Chain A
Amino acid sequence: AQSVAQPEDQVNVAEGNPLTVKCTYSVSGNPYLFWYVQYPNRGLQFLLKYITGDNLVKGSYGFEAEFNKSQTSFHLKKPSALVSDSALYFCAVRTPGNQFYFGTGTSLTVIP
């Protein structure tokens, strides 16, 4: 079955430290990969996506993600975390058959 996994429900990181939010996928073929962020009482906001090309994708607010085909991963990263980055992060996959799958979300807390 095709799916997206975010293995960590919660990630805590100190302000100024690098952060990583993990995502792995199980999809046949070449998927499109997305990261979204959700702040309290808000909808999902698009951060970045990978379609093809360079495996390192840069997005909004200083976030980037690295596509690793052999490990079927698309981890979200930021070199220096801000308190304002605290939010819920969702990984999503669009399959070649145009099915859209979201992970369960990872709650990121940046500690001042």
Chain B
Amino acid sequence: ETGVTQTPRHLVMGMTNKKSLKCEQHLGHNAMYWYKQSAKKPLELMFVYSLEERVENNSVPSRFSPECPNSSHLFLHLHTLQPEDSALYLCASSQEGPRTSGGYTQYFGPGTRLTVL
């Protein structure tokens, strides 16, 4: 295992539901990421948190709302999603900054397979 866990692993929700995805990293990293993986498309970077501050938001619809309460935990809150939001959502973490010796390698969790009906 990579040291990054995600729950739930599978989620089926209706368009009117509200749900949350959870990510936890046990690597002592200071940056965390949400990606969306759809078939035949490059990974889409959604959000980046560095030192618990959101530093990137790549034009993601407001129905996706991230939360990073501390450097080890990251949430993705979902509400009124669309069927096209069905995908694998991956969380990753890395160590950023001057003390980085790992070349900013990102370590990924197993993902949450989301299906929106």
Contacts and interface: CB of A to CB of B under 8 A. Distances in A.
Interface string B1-24: 010101000000000000000000
A94 B104 contact: yes
A29 interface: no
Most central of B2, B40, B43 by chain A CB within 10 Å: B43
B103 A102 contact: no
B115 interface: no
A51 B4 contact: no
A45 B41 contact: no
Interface residues of A, number: 22
Chain A facing B: main interface SS: strand
B34 to A, nearest CB: 12
B42 A43 contact: no
B75 interface: no
Interface of A: 4, 9, 32, 34, 36, 41-46, 49, 51, 90, 94, 98, 100-105
Interface of B: 2, 4, 6, 40-43, 45, 90, 92, 103-111, 113
18 contacts: A4-B42, A34-B106, A36-B108, A41-B113, A43-B92, A43-B108, A43-B109, A43-B110, A44-B92, A46-B2, A46-B106, A46-B107, A49-B103, A94-B103, A100-B45, A102-B43, A104-B41, A105-B42
